[in-house]
């Protein structure tokens, strides 16, 4: 230890200012920090190249140019002051780009950092290389998580995705255009009537009835998040909330490599992804859809792209269908769910949710009416990804083991209504209780082959809880709240 201490002291007190090493230290720390926190959002090679340029090249160039400016005779004596201030300030600016905070709070932290650094530079400028050491030490702290992510990514198994039968070779007897409209967090009709929601949705339900939809009042999701639920639905398999799914693979599966898209394309469908926000494509996965209303050139590299928004109805109208059957996955980000973080309380969250739900009803009626006028023989699915979480103060509360049956159902109970266009569908939808079996049942109906109903997944619903930690089956195949640790 004494030798290490002596080497560090010799490095800090040496006459070389270490400009290039400062830039490398900033880059190493920021790259490891970012990937240890956001690996799932930045798993493309393109993003890695941008981050290397941004976190290594930019600070190095800034430091070199500034340092050259301080070689002027009048500024020569302040070079170490410049480095004492510039190196940590660059890191602060990078970190402020990543944290979730309002402009005022960010301005406060930036101002505080500037004041402290200028004050410290007067007395401690000669120790500026201490920041280099500190950055490498902090980078080392991120190494276990970083390499853990790399290992989990490289060794993740996809055996769970293998279908138990020949469904991927299914041939449809009828090929209607299919519209899968997913209003985020839209609660099931049964949930909307319970004590948590206590909402009369009869106007919208009457609309669905008049338009020929079959409504599934107790339908629910199998998982508690958009990524986990959609991964299961488009894979037609349970993944049991494996950590690598949400961390790495969810988006690649949902919008890229999944059996639903394979089957549709094998049956001549052109596929379209129309979304309000680019939430499902933020890590730039290889797109399995033929068209998308966002391009990757529009997506920011550092932020989560949730600030970008499209008018979904307008985007749907702008899709130019090709010859042959069409599949549309239309993602609407409302009514959403109660806030992830909130201090408003249950009552305010409920009021806020129900206001958005009523606006979503109007939007859904407009979109459905448009589709039916344009495409009267279409198969239309209105299926939410999970429940609205009304009854919780915020959604993070649901990560603590929840024993209240109404709260459990608020997590999973989700809208499902389908306009089949044929009464024969009732021969196929007897097991349509959760989203994992949605597409299997639809494909069995379109192929008019009931053998595919022999391999439906269990209609269980799961949460990977934080307190106590572990995977819990919240609802079993019979729809009973069971709270069984797996």
pLDDT confidence of 263, banded at 50, 70, 90?
very high
The answer on pLDDT for 343 being more than 80 is no
Phi-psi region of 359 (alpha: psi -120 to 50; beta: other; left: phi over 0): alpha
pLDDT tops 90 at residue 445: yes
**pLDDT score of 448 more than 80:** yes
CB 14 within 8 A of CB 265: no
pLDDT tens for 464-479 read 999 999 999 999 999 9
- pLDDT average, residue stretch 52-74: 89
In 305-323, which positions are buried (b, 16+ CB within 10 angstroms) versus exposed (e)?
beebebebbebbeebeeee
Q: Output DSSP code: residue 344.
A: S
> What is the average pLDDT across 200-214?
97
Q: Read off the DSSP letter of residue 392.
A: B
Give dist(CA 44, CA 50) in Å, integer: 10
Rounded CA gap, 346 and 394, in Å?
Answer: 8
Structural contact between residues 458 and 444, judged by C-beta atoms closer than 8 angstroms: no
Q: How confident is the model at residue 241 (pLDDT cuts 50, 70, 90)?
A: very high
> Above 90 in pLDDT, residue 382?
yes
Across 347-354, average pLDDT: 94
**Token pair for 398:** 């649901």
310 half-sphere exposure, CB direction, 13 A CA radius: 24
Q: Which two tokens stand for residue 87?
A: 């190196």
Distance CA 438, CA 418 (A): 10
CA distance 108 to 369: 50
In terms of pLDDT, which residue wins out, 100 or 138?
Answer: 138
Are residues 62 and 86 in contact, defined by beta-carbon separation less than 8 angstroms?
yes
Average pLDDT of the chain to the nearest whole number: 92
- Arithmetic mean of pLDDT, 295-299: 91
pLDDT at position 148 is: 87
Share above pLDDT 90 across residues of the chain, in percent, rounded to a whole number: 71
Q: How many CB atoms lie within 10 A of CB 43?
A: 20
Distance CA 259, CA 1 (A): 57
Identify the sign of the CA torsion 21, 23, 26, 29.
negative
Residue 8 has pLDDT above 80, yes or no: no
Give the confidence band of 41 by pLDDT, cuts at 50, 70, 90. confident
| Average pLDDT, integer, range 41-61 | 88
Residue 47 has pLDDT above 90, yes or no: no
Average pLDDT over residues 107-129: 89
Average pLDDT over residues 123-136: 89
Most confident of 59-68, 71-80, 299-308, 363-372: 363-372
Closest CA to 83 of 16, 5, 30: 16
Read off the pLDDT of each residue in 69-91 and give the average, rounded to a whole number: 87
pLDDT band, residue 75 (cuts 50/70/90): confident
| Rounded Cα distance, 225 and 250, in Å | 11
Q: What is the pLDDT of residue 345?
A: 84
Q: How many C-alpha atoms does 131 have within 13 Å on its Cβ side?
A: 29
Helix-helix angle 130-155:19-38, to 10 degrees: 40
- Judge whether residue 1 has pLDDT over 80: no
Alpha-carbon separation of residue 81 from 22, 92, 373, 454 (angstroms): 14, 17, 70, 73
- Once rounded to an integer, what is the mean pLDDT over residues 334-340? 91
Q: How far apart are the first and last CA of the chain?
A: 46
Q: Cβ neighbours of residue 234 under 8 Å, at least 6 residues apart?
A: 253, 254, 258, 259, 260, 261, 439
* Cβ-based burial of 438 (10 A; exposed 0-12, middle 13-18, buried ≥19): buried
Query: Are residues 273 and 289 in contact, defined by beta-carbon separation less than 8 angstroms?
Result: yes
State the Cα angle at 233 between 201 and 333, rounded to 5°.
50
User: Which pair of structure tokens corresponds to residue 253?
Assistant: 């599966």
pLDDT at 153: 80
pLDDT tops 90 at residue 162:
yes
pTM given for the model: 0.88
CB 177 within 8 A of CB 325: yes
% of the chain with per-residue pLDDT over 70? 99
Residue 231's pLDDT band (cuts 50, 70, 90)? very high
Q: What is the band of 278 on the pLDDT scale with cuts at 50, 70, 90?
A: very high
Q: Where are the beta strands (DSSP E) in 333-456?
A: 379-383, 416-419
The pLDDT confidence band at residue 33, using thresholds 50, 70 and 90, is very high
Residues 157, 478: Cα–Cα separation, whole Å:
30
Cα separations (Å) of 427 from 420, 424, 453, 482?
A: 12, 6, 11, 29
Residue 138's CB: how many other CB atoms inside 10 A? 15
Q: How far apart are CA 372 and CA 317, in angstroms?
A: 13
Please work out, in degrees rounded to the nearest 5, the angle formed at the alpha carbon of residue 127 by the alpha carbons of 122 and 132: 125
Question: 164 and 455 in contact (C-beta within 8 Å)?
Answer: yes
| 427, 402 contact by CB (below 8 A) | no
Tell whether the model's pLDDT for residue 301 goes beyond 90: no
């Amino acid at each position: 230890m004494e030798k290490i201490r002596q080497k560090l002291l010799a490095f800090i007190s040496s006459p070389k200012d270490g400009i290039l090493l400062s830039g490398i230290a900033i880059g190493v720390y920021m790259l490891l920090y970012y990937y240890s926190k956001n690996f799932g959002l930045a798993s493309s090679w393109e993003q890695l190249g941008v981050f290397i340029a941004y976190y290594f090249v930019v600070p190095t160039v800034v430091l070199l140019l500034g340092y050259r400016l301080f070689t002027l005779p009048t500024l020569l004596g302040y070079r170490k002051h410049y480095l004492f201030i510039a190196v940590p300030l660059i890191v602060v600016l990078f970190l402020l780009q990543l944290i979730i905070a309002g402009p005022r709070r960010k301005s406060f932290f930036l101002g505080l950092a500037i004041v402290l650094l200028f004050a410290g530079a007067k007395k401690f400028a000669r120790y500026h290389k201490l920041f280099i050491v500190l950055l490498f030490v902090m980078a080392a702290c991120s190494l276990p998580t970083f390499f853990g992510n790399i290992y989990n990514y490289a060794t993740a198994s996809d055996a769970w995705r293998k279908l138990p039968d020949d469904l991927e070779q299914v041939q449809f007897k009828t090929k209607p255009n299919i519209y899968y409209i997913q209003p985020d967090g839209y609660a099931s009709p049964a949930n909307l009537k319970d004590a948590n929601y206590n909402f009369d949705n009869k106007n919208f339900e009457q609309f669905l009835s008049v338009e020929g939809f079959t409504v599934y009042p107790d339908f629910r999701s199998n998982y508690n998040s958009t990524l986990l639920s959609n991964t299961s639905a488009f894979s037609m398999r349970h993944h049991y909330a494996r950590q690598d799914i949400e961390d790495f693979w969810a988006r690649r599966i949902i919008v890229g490599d999944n059996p639903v898209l394979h089957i549709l394309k094998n049956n001549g469908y052109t596929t379209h992804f129309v979304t309000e926000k680019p939430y499902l494509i933020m890590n730039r996965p290889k797109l399995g859809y033929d068209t998308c209303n966002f391009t990757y050139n529009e997506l920011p590299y550092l932020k989560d792209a949730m600030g970008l928004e499209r008018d979904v109805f307008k985007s749907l109208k702008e899709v130019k269908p090709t010859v042959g059957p069409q599949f549309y996955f239309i993602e609407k980000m409302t009514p959403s769910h109660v806030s992830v973080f909130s201090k408003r309380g249950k009552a305010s969250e409920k009021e806020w949710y129900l206001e958005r739900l009523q606006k979503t009803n109007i939007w859904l009626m407009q979109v459905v009416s448009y589709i039916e006028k344009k495409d009267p023989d279409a198969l239309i699915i209105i299926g939410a990804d999970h429940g609205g979480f009304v009854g919780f103060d915020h959604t993070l509360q649901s990560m603590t083991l929840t024993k209240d049956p109404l709260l459990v159902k608020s997590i999973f109970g989700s809208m499902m209504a389908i306009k089949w266009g044929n009464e024969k569908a009732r021969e196929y939808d007897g097991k349509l209780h959760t989203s994992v079996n949605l597409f299997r049942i639809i494909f069995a109906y379109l192929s008019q082959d009931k053998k595919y109903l022999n391999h439906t997944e269990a209609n269980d619903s799961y949460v990977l809880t934080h307190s106590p930690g572990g995977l819990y089956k919240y609802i079993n195949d019979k729809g009973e709240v069971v709270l069984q640790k797996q």
